[in-house]
Each structure stands twice: as structure tokens, then as C-alpha cells.
Amino acid sequence: MITEKDVLHIADLAKIEISEEEVQKFKEDFQSILDYFNILDEVEENVEPSFQVLPLTNVFRKDEVKESLPREDVLRNPKHVEDGYIKGPRVVE
Amino acid sequence: MSQQVTGQRMERKDEVVIGLEVHIQLNKLNTKLFCSCSTDYHEDEPNTHVCPVCLGMPGAMPVINEMAIKFAVKVALALNADVQPFTVFDRKNYFYPDLPKDFQISQYDRPLAWGGYVTIEAGQGEKKILLKRIHMEEDPGKLSYRGSITTARYSMIDYNRSGMPLLEIVTEPVMNSPKEARQFLNKLRIILEYLDVFDGSLEGAMRIDANISLKGGGRVEIKNISSFKGVEKALTYEITRQKNLKRRGKEVRRETRHFDEINNITVSLRGKEEEQDYRYFPEPDLVPVDATGIIEELRGTIPEMPEQKRIRLAEQYGIGENFAKVLVLDLKMADYFEEVAKSLAEDGINLNVAASWTVDVLRGELNYRSKDFRFAYSILEPAEMVKILKYLTDGKITEKSAVEIIRTILDKGGNVDMIIEEKGLFAIANSEIEKLCREAIEKNPKAVEDYIAGKEQALNFLVGQVMKATRGKADPAETARIINKILS
């Protein structure tokens, strides 16, 4: 069973704040998603897990340098830039 | 001896247990783990070695660098680990400004290798430091702050490091002192350099998380130690802190702490995720790696490791065990010695001379100048060193002159013969020295009298006169011997 505490914990990991109503809504949503996954319980045990649906292994590239992006382009997306750095939140510990 | 025994007893009483997680940048690769950006960013401006993949742009697709897998397999084989033929990358989810995708591509339950060990010297014998696992992952970007981390209002992010190929090596909790931890890391660094996959001199090349507990206390994880000197300091601090808590009857609780390298202390970190909070799942943008072929290809190519080299050097060149031990600490130094030794062996010269001049003199002079044997190769080639040692063993130059030649070349360049010529360093023939000794005796009757009366310093004075007359080219010990002979 999904509890309010679970929802708040997940919100905390996602670093978002949610209201009391949202907690209730997510609680129900999470529960119905998990219920859906119960279908998996019908699968026989001792089945090898799959890691990829593609029938491929070893898709590699050579260790050859290609040009990186021009810095003007790199710094065009972020809103906050200083001296070539992208500004981010101070990580409070 | 009695001190040692006490030390051991104390250690046993508290039973310190240490395990390490070592992050190694495979910085000898040309490109990052999942994109073709160059790894050669250390001298460059921030955010100049980035692309949509390592910036985590929506839709950008990672592609594995094949050489990174080869490097990793090479390390795993050299560390005696059980390399897995089937290995999978996973997403590790957490939010942090240095992680542009908001997840890190790492490995979880199908790592590259399990097990393995590294041998270190411990007390009387050797100790095997057992490894738990070795896996690959991408490095996050680098955060910095204006002023200090505690007062800055924001972080500044450089993604040049983002996507650097990392190897994480996790040990079993088998080390019992900070010193053992340092020895392990030192040995690991040497092995990685022998494999030519790693340059430990680059900033951030090796970063460590350490787990430590004292008997009866909770396990404390120390994050973010960025050098192996830091590891010993952080662990030593932590042992003192935990012992003090115990002494005051307080419990050491299980927690994560951060190493503050400026103040050499550890501080408590709150809000650390638990393992299940990372919500690992197989990376859908990458297919699994079947390393069978790579393992086969590389198994026979692992070069001679430090232990084997130590034994071979001692046997092949007949040098002392202690010389061999020091030589293998640095592959370039060992190579340098071998080149010098091979050449001198043809002349039947005792190679302990070559070992001593490599390990004691040249290494010391390089250290003094904050240089290494790479520098020695570039400015004082082994062939020149051979020349110096031949002149020395032939008695053509004194030890003092040999050192002077080495110093001159390290500081200003040049070649051996030129410097000998310029400075007139060829030693003076004994007949010439004998003549000068007789002169010194004649001119200084008082000193002679004093010496005969038993004043040892008087002999030094006489030797000094000869040294002065030859401008330091006479060998002092030889000169003293000649003076003694004349006066007896």
C-alpha cells in the first residue's frame, strides 16, 4: 500500500513541493500504477530478466575526438551564466 | 620493537575496519565514455569540451567508447578480478547540479567484474586487499564556488568533466589502519600507471569515498576525498573523533560525512539518499556489453606488474632488494635504470652503482626540483647518465663532480662532456695531487704539527688547502689518504 509518507518521500527525492490535495491524488495514481504491475506476478518464476528489448550487444564507437560545441552555443540555453560557467543552486547540506 | 608490539595491541583493541570506493578517471583515453568530446580539458576554459550528450540535452544518445571497455577490462584482469562476459549499464537517479541529465549512467547488479585483489606490504609480510567489485560509470561535472562553499550564494558548473570515463573499484572492508589504506591506493596507482590507462598527476584523477568503523560503532562513510594523502588524513581524523565519542560514552551513529580538505576534518552530511532511493534500472539507451572477445584479446597482453618486475630486476642485474623495491614504484624510473644498467653491464660495472645513482642521487635531485623521470628522460638521457657513471668508476671524475654535472644538466641542460670541459671537472691525476699535498704540508707547518699532536681538524685544513688549489677537483678522501701517507 502506498502511504502519504511514500508520496512525500518521492516528492522530496524529486526536489518538488506538493500540496495536500496533490499528495492524495498521487497516492491514488501511484497505487493504480503499482496495481497494474501486479500483472507481472502471473509470470512464472525462474524467468531470466531482460535488460534490453533489442537483440543487440556491443554497439561501440572508436576513441576518436570529434569537435565539441562552440561555447557560445553551450551557454545560450541556460538562463544564468557567469565567466563561462553555468550558475546553479548552492547545494545546501 | 617493544613500541611496535604496543602499537599492534592498541590496534587490535579498537579494531578499525576500513573499506574504500576508489573512482579512477581513465584519463589516458582520447574521448569521454559516451561521446566524442576530448578528455584533454584540464588546461582549458570551462564548458569548452561539451556536446549534447555530456550536457544531457533531450534526445541526445550515448554511444560506448570501445577503448574505455578495453581499458577497464585490462585493469580488471591486472587486479585479478573475475571479468564478466555479460555486463550492463544502469541509470542511477539523483538530482544534483553537476549531473546534467539528472541521472548518472553507472552499473548496478551486472558490473564489469567481481572480486580481485591488490597485494600490499604489511608489517612482516604481505597482505591481500580483497576487492568486492569493479564497475564503469560516467563522471559528473565539477562545481566550484566564489569564496567558500558555506558563504557562496550559488554554485558555478563546468561540464568539461561530465562524461569522463570512470572506473569505480570497491574493496572489501579489510584494511585496519589509515596507513594500509594509503599503501593500497599507492599500489593501485602504480598498477594503473604500469597499464598506461591512467595519469595520476592530473587534477581529480583519483577520488575516494572511505567507509570506516571502530568495533561496536556504526559505519561512517566519508565522501569526496580527492587525493590519497587526503585519505590518510581523513581516516586518522575520523578514528580520533570516533574514539573520543566512545570515551565519552556516546554512540557512533551510522552516517555520511564530508571531508573538508582545507581544515582536515570531516563534517556531517544530512539528507543522503539510501540505495533504493537511486531507483536504478537498466539504461534503455544502451545495449549490453558482451566482453568475451575483449577478455580473450587482452588476457595475454597484461604487462609485467610491479612485483614481477621487482623480482626480475634484482635477479637480472644483481642489485640489492631495497633498490629493486624502490625502482618499481615508478615505471619510468625502472625503465631509466634498465637502460643505464644494460649499457654499463657490458663494461662489467657493478650495477648497484647504477641503482644507487638512479634511486638515491637522480631521484633525489628530481624530487628537489619537483620533477619526475619523464623530465629526466627529456633532459638527461640514460646514455648521458651512463657516461657519468663510467667516468666515475674509471676515477676520471669525483663523486662530487658527478653530482655537479647532474645538477647542472637538470637546471640548465647541456651534455656531460661539454660540462666537464667547461668546468674542468676531470679529476687530477694522483701524482699531481701528491705534489699539491707536499706543497700544502710545506706551507703549513703549524697545521702539520697540530695534526701530528692529534688534532683531527688540522687534517681537514690541509685537505682544504689542496681542494682550494684544485678548485674542488681533487677527491677529498683520496687527498686525506695521500697526506696521511706522506706524514706517516
pLDDT in tens, B346-387: 888 889 999 999 999 999 999 999 999 999 999 999 999 999
Q: Which DSSP state fits B217?
A: S
Decide if A31 is inside a domain: yes
Decide if B157 is inside a domain: yes
Pair (B35, B125) in one structural domain: yes
CATH number of the domain to which B476 belongs: 1.10.10.410
Give the total number of structural domains in chain B.
3
Decide if A15 is inside a domain: yes
Task: Tell me which chain A residues have a C-beta less than 8 angstroms from the C-beta of B255.
Answer: none
**Residues belonging to chain A with any Cβ–Cβ distance to chain B shorter than 8 Å:** 13-15, 51-52, 54, 56-66, 68-69, 71, 74-75, 80, 82-91, 93
Contacts of B229 (CB under 8 A, 6+ apart): B182
B60-75: average pLDDT: 97
Calpha distance B12→B176 (Å, rounded): 9
Pair (B199, B156) in one structural domain: yes
Between CA A16 and CA A21, with CA A19 as vertex, the angle to 5 degrees is 135
B294-298: average pLDDT: 96
Averaged pLDDT of chain B: 90
B126 touches chain A (CB under 8 A): no
Cell 623480482 -> residue:
B311
For chain A, helix (H) and strand (E) counts, in that order, are 3, 3
Task: Check pLDDT > 50 for residue B227.
Answer: yes
Decide if A22 is inside a domain: yes
Of A61, A68, A90, the CB nearest to B154: A90
pLDDT in tens, B397-411: 889 889 999 999 999
Question: What is the pLDDT, as a whole number, of residue B435?
Answer: 86
Pair (B443, B406) in one structural domain: no
For chain B, helix (H) and strand (E) counts, in that order, are 18, 18
Domain boundary among B254, B281, B299: B299
Q: What is the pTM of this model?
A: 0.83
Pair (B243, B100) in one structural domain: yes
Residue-range definition of the domain harbouring residue A22: 4-41
Pair (B405, B453) in one structural domain: no
Residue-range definition of the domain harbouring residue B350: 306-423
**Phi and psi for B296 in degrees, rounded to 5?**
-60, -45
Decide if A78 is inside a domain: no
Q: What letters, b where the CB count within 10 A reaches 16 and e where it falls short, cover A43-73?
A: eeeeeeeebeeeeebeebbebeeeebbeeee
Task: Tell me which chain B residues have a C-beta less than 8 angstroms from the C-beta of A54.
Answer: 287
Say what the ipTM of the complex is.
0.90
B71-81: average pLDDT: 97
Pair (B328, B197) in one structural domain: no
Pair (B293, B317) in one structural domain: no
Residues 235-274 of B with CB under 8 A from A: 258, 269-271, 273
Residue B315 has which C-alpha cell?
635477479
pLDDT in tens, B241-271: 999 998 898 888 888 898 888 888 898 876 5
